[in-house]
């Protein structure tokens, strides 16, 4: 990564009021998955400015910066070591994590909030909010609406006309070689010139084409509609000769610039530009810029470029990290479900010299987090109902009451874990994608790994378009729970074995998986039939009040059918054994001198078929 050391030093040494947050922290780098150790952390003065986190060499404000971190494509989470004053910054690039410990838990919370706000996506969201506020204050349509251009003029706002998606391909011809025997390995870097600020911003680059003076580049350039582009925007193309495929050994061949307006207004949809050397005197060759019309199929618009490629494949790849592959896919519903799309476009020349266009789009799905959060909420509600059902059993003997308290405590602990995970998930913003390097994180254990959607649309002349949708997701596994060889089935088997061998008291209420499934069926049937019987009874009462014999017969028949099903469900052996075990668990049963439910409980009373009382 290139950077200006002098500019970074200037940014890190400004006055205290110029930073979003600064203070004393203990810092340490960790391998992914490792827990932080406060003893290994070094005390440093830290400064946050925009999306840059500076770590000073010493804990004093006047110290110089020794490290700087760019807070993009990363996650800021509390430390998993149980320290309330520590946090960890996890990078999606699989770089080492950054462990930070604050002087107090309150300082740590404040740092977490500030660090999560320090990224370009947050900045874009703030800009959108400010735009909406401006439009509301001026009484115009909401920012981004179709009326935005005309409404802004009435309010005196200076608005740049919205351009369509601008996409183009690149090819070079007759490049000059430094030496006659030299075979060029050519790459083109694309930059955007800011004429107002007189600055140059790197945008993208092509792939390296080896061994030719006339390369046809497969990687194109895409400027989506939301990119701040105007007809006056100038694009700079810089051509390099890469030696040994290393950026450090590249040689400058030439450069050229053009305006977006020239490309859009060109009748041929193409610009042929001369490459200039650094002194601007000599011509180093030619670069051809060909505009791509995404919605149209040309029958040979770039045949002459393909002919000069000397055997190169005529596949064209256009890559964008900003927009969608098709404007029709930009509906509010699609944008609400999919985020951070990556768009690629390929063109293939067919046997009849036509061009087939293939659009491919890959995007993150917001449901990756929304559905697990809803599932956790349902888990919490379900376990809370179970706790209430245990409390509704009423007074029990000391032995059973102790077991009930243990089960309630277990459910309460599980609920706390769910609530803690749900709280942390609600704090996460930005990307809706869980990479495989985050599979062992505690708060992401319910999030699917590598889940993303892909759509490929194929357009061919005089043929119907075809779409292919694919959903990709990593294999589900309980990584945080110690999932290793043997799989989840081994964990479940071990859980069942531990339930059997935990204690003699626990064995008496043990249910096998088969009996548990049967008990759920019985409880589900009872839960469905009970309200139906009440409804049928009300209908029978209304029929009696109306003194209608026909209504009475129909209501009585329906009530008899539902009641018969209800009685049949209650005749199950599991229900009988559960009711008997519950009766023996009452304090009155123990005081009457009957044997308590425990190691010596009669099989007919407490353990019919290795079962215990119903929960």
Residues 6 or more apart whose CB falls under 8 angstroms from that of 524 comprise none
For the chain, what percent of residues have pLDDT higher than 70? 75
Cα–Cα distances in angstroms (integers) from residue 391 to residues 79, 578, 615, in the given order: 36, 16, 10
User: What pLDDT shows up at residue 149?
Assistant: 39
CB 340 within 8 A of CB 433: yes
Give the residue with greater pLDDT, 79 vs 125: 79
Q: How far is residue 547's CA from residue 415's CA, in Å, rounded to a whole number?
A: 53
CB 86 within 8 A of CB 57: no
User: What pLDDT shows up at residue 297?
Assistant: 42
Among residues 114, 218, 231, which one has the least CA distance to residue 162?
A: 231
Rounded CA Rg of the chain: 35
Residues 6 or more apart whose CB falls under 8 angstroms from that of 154 comprise 140
Rounded-to-10 torsion of CA 401, 404, 408, 413: 100
Task: Find the helix or strand (DSSP H, E) in which 241 lies.
Answer: strand 234-241
Q: Where are the alpha helices (DSSP H) in 487-512?
A: 487-501, 504-507
Among the ranges given (107-116, 450-459, 557-566), the one the predictor scored with the smallest mean pLDDT: 450-459
User: What pLDDT shows up at residue 7?
Assistant: 78
User: What pLDDT shows up at residue 273?
Assistant: 92
The answer, yes or no, to whether residue 198 has pLDDT greater than 60, is: yes
Give the residue with greater pLDDT, 245 vs 591: 245
Task: Give the pLDDT mean for 121-134.
Answer: 74
Q: How far is residue 614's CA from residue 514's CA, in Å, rounded to a whole number?
A: 14
CB 78 within 8 A of CB 86: yes
Among residues 470, 510, 522, which one has the least CA distance to residue 611?
A: 510
User: What pLDDT shows up at residue 423?
Assistant: 92
User: What pLDDT shows up at residue 319?
Assistant: 42
The two structure tokens encoding residue 202: 């790197």
3-state secondary structure of 136: helix
Residues 6 or more apart whose CB falls under 8 angstroms from that of 574 comprise 515, 518, 519, 522, 611, 614
User: What pLDDT shows up at residue 409?
Assistant: 93
Among the ranges given (22-26, 455-459, 490-494), the one the predictor scored with the smallest mean pLDDT: 490-494
Task: Give the pLDDT mean for 496-512.
Answer: 60
Neighbours of 300 (CB within 10 A): 11
Q: How far is residue 262's CA from residue 234's CA, in Å, rounded to a whole number?
A: 10
What is the pLDDT of the chain when averaged over all its residues?
76
The answer, yes or no, to whether residue 237 has pLDDT greater than 90, is: yes
The answer, yes or no, to whether residue 145 has pLDDT greater than 80, is: no
Among the ranges given (281-295, 375-389, 559-573), the one the predictor scored with the smallest mean pLDDT: 281-295
* Highest mean pLDDT (candidates 204-218, 311-325, 428-442): 204-218
User: What pLDDT shows up at residue 510?
Assistant: 63
Among residues 171, 206, 177, 170, which one has the least CA distance to residue 284?
A: 177
Give the residue with greater pLDDT, 225 vs 241: 241
CB 583 within 8 A of CB 487: no
558 phi/psi in degrees, rounded to 5: -65, -40
Neighbours of 2 (CB within 10 A): 5
The two structure tokens encoding residue 493: 């088997």
Among the ranges given (32-36, 176-180, 268-272), the one the predictor scored with the smallest mean pLDDT: 32-36
The two structure tokens encoding residue 524: 């589900």
User: What pLDDT shows up at residue 388?
Assistant: 94
* Highest mean pLDDT (candidates 372-376, 430-434, 472-476, 486-490): 372-376
User: What pLDDT shows up at residue 235?
Assistant: 93
User: What pLDDT shows up at residue 246?
Assistant: 63
CB 36 within 8 A of CB 87: no
Among residues 340, 342, 294, 343, which one has the least CA distance to residue 465?
A: 294
Task: Give the pLDDT mean for 190-217.
Answer: 83
């Amino acid at each position: 990564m290139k950077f200006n050391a002098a500019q970074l030093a200037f940014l890190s040494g400004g006055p205290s009021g110029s930073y979003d947050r600064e203070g004393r922290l203990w810092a340490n780098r960790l391998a992914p998955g490792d827990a932080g150790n406060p003893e290994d952390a070094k005390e440093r003065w830290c400064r946050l400015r925009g999306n840059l986190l500076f770590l000073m060499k010493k804990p004093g404000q006047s110290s110089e910066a020794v490290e700087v971190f760019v807070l993009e494509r990363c996650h800021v989470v509390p430390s998993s070591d149980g320290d309330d004053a520590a946090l960890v910054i996890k990078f999606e690039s699989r770089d080492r994590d950054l462990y930070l410990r604050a002087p107090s838990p309150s300082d740590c919370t404040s740092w977490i909030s500030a660090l999560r706000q320090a990224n370009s996506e947050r900045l874009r969201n703030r800009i959108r909010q400010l735009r909406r506020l401006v439009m509301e204050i001026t009484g115009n349509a909401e920012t981004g609406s179709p009326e935005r251009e005309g409404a802004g003029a009435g309010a005196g706002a200076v608005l740049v006309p919205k351009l369509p998606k601008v996409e183009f391909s690149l090819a070079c011809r007759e490049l000059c070689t430094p030496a006659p025997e030299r075979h060029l390995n050519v790459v083109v870097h694309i930059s955007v010139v800011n004429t107002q600020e007189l600055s140059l911003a790197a945008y993208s680059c092509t792939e390296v084409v080896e061994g030719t003076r006339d390369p046809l580049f497969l990687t194109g350039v895409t400027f989506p509609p939301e990119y701040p582009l105007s007809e006056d925007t100038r694009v700079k193309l810089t051509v390099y000769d890469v030696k040994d495929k290393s950026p450090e050994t590249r040689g400058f061949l030439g450069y050229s610039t053009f305006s977006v307006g020239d490309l859009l207004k060109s009748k041929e949809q193409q610009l042929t530009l001369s490459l200039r050397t650094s002194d601007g005197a000599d011509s180093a060759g030619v670069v051809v810029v060909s505009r791509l019309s995404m919605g149209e199929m040309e029958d040979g618009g770039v045949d002459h470029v393909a002919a000069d490629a000397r055997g190169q494949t005529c596949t064209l790849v256009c890559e964008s990290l900003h927009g969608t592959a098709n404007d029709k896919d930009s509906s509010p519903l699609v944008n609400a479900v999919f985020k951070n799309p990556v768009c690629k476009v390929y063109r293939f020349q067919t046997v009849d010299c036509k061009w087939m266009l293939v659009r491919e789009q890959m995007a993150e799905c917001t449901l990756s987090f929304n559905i697990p959060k809803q599932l956790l909420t349902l888990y919490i509600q379900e376990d809370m109902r179970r706790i209430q059902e245990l409390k509704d059993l009423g007074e029990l003997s000391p032995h059973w009451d102790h077991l009930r308290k243990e089960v309630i405590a277990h459910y309460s602990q599980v609920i706390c874990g769910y609530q803690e995970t749900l709280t942390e998930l609600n704090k996460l913003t930005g990307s809706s994608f869980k990479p495989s390097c985050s599979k062992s994180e505690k708060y992401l254990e319910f999030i699917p790994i590598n889940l993303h959607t892909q759509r490929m649309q194929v357009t061919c002349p005089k043929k119907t378009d075809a779409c292919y949708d694919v959903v990709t997701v990593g294999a589900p596994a309980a990584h945080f729970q110690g999932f290793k060889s043997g799989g989840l089935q081994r964990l479940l088997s071990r859980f069942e074995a531990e339930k059997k061998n935990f204690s003699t008291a626990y064995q008496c209420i043990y249910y096998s998986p088969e009996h548990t499934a049967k008990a759920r069926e019985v409880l589900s049937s009872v839960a469905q039939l009970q309200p139906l019987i009440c409804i049928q009874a009300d209908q029978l009462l209304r029929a009696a009040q109306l003194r209608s014999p026909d209504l009475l017969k129909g209501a009585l028949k329906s009530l008899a059918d539902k009641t018969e099903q209800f009685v049949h469900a209650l005749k199950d052996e599991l229900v009988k054994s559960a009711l008997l075990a519950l009766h023996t668990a009452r304090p009155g049963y123990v005081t009457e001198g009957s044997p308590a439910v425990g190691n010596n409980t009669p099989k007919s009373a407490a353990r019919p078929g290795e079962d215990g009382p119903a929960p």
